[in-house]
């Protein structure tokens, strides 16, 4: 699949205000600074589409981008903001979970993990929650260019081992870099295959 058009549609924090046309939605989530905005821009080849920033927690709302007039990429608020107030964290959490659990259009949730990091409790808990709820998801390891091939493989193996402590099956996994477009064809191919079903 090639992305011909990618347009920002709406940014909001209530699922009632999300698009009502029934098109499928592919949502992206991860801890702030994981590289989510960069990945969305890399996939769509539109530099400023999702806002990239050094400032953790900047994307605070649900952002819908219409792709090829066909499906949506949804940029969700990151989870685990250490620097925001407890109240704000709870508010974000409630927005995220309401969207994920109550949005029938959600076709696949991509959970982003920085490939350099050891399995972190906050990510593992989030992944486990999605598994328990039966939310269709895949894992994307980001920033692959920051590690050698060998180190990247070791990191992914560590993640798999951690997940297999609790699950019999592993979710689909992708390795990406927004610096050099690693994983772009694989991810778009994955979305395309689901869309063709």
Q: Which residues does residue 106 pair with via DSSP β-bridges, in sequence order?
A: 25
Give buried/exposed letters for 66-81 (b at 16+ CB in 10 A, else e). bbeeebbbbbbbbbbb
Beta carbon of residue 105, minimum distance to ligand GDP (angstroms, whole number): 22
Is 35 a binder of ligand GDP (CB under 6 A)? yes
**Is 96 within 8 Å of 79 (Cβ atoms)?**
yes
* Alpha-carbon span 178 to 107, nearest angstrom: 23
Is 36 a binder of ligand GDP (CB under 6 A)? yes
Stretch in the footprint of ligand GDP (CB under 6 A) among 4-12, 14-22, 31-39, 152-160: 31-39
Name 100's Cβ contacts closer than 8 Å, sequence gap at least 6: 27, 76, 106, 109, 130, 133, 135
Choice from 7, 14, 179, 185 touching ligand GDP (CB under 6 A)? 179
> x/- binding map, residues 131-160, to ligand GDP, per CB under 6 A?
-----------xx-xx--------------
Question: Which of the residues 94 through 123 are near ligand GDP (CB under 6 A)?
Answer: none
Question: Which of the residues 44 through 103 are near ligand GDP (CB under 6 A)?
Answer: 52-54, 78
Residues found near ligand GDP in the complex (CB under 6 A): 30, 32-38, 52-54, 78, 142-143, 145-146, 177-179
């Amino acid at each position: 699949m090639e992305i011909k058009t990618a347009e920002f549609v709406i940014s909001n924090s209530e699922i009632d205000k999300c698009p009502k046309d029934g098109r499928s939605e592919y949502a992206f989530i991860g801890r702030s600074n994981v590289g989510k905005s960069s990945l969305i821009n890399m996939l769509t080849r539109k530099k400023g589409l999702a806002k990239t920033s050094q400032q953790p927690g900047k994307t605070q709302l649900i952002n819908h981008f219409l792709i090829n007039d066909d499906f949506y990429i949804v940029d969700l608020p990151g989870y685990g903001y250490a620097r925001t107030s407890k109240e704000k964290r709870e508010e974000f959490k409630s927005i995220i979970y309401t969207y994920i659990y109550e949005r029938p259009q959600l076709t696949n949730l991509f959970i982003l993990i920085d490939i350099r990091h050891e399995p972190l409790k906050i990510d593992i808990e989030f992944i486990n929650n999605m598994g328990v709820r039966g939310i269709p998801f895949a894992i994307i390891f980001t920033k692959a260019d920051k590690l050698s091939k060998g180190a990247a493989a070791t990191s992914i193996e560590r993640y798999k081992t951690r997940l297999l402590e609790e699950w019999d099956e592993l979710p689909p996994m992708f390795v990406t870099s927004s610096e050099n477009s690693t994983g772009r064809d694989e991810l778009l191919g994955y979305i395309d295959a689901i869309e063709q079903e």
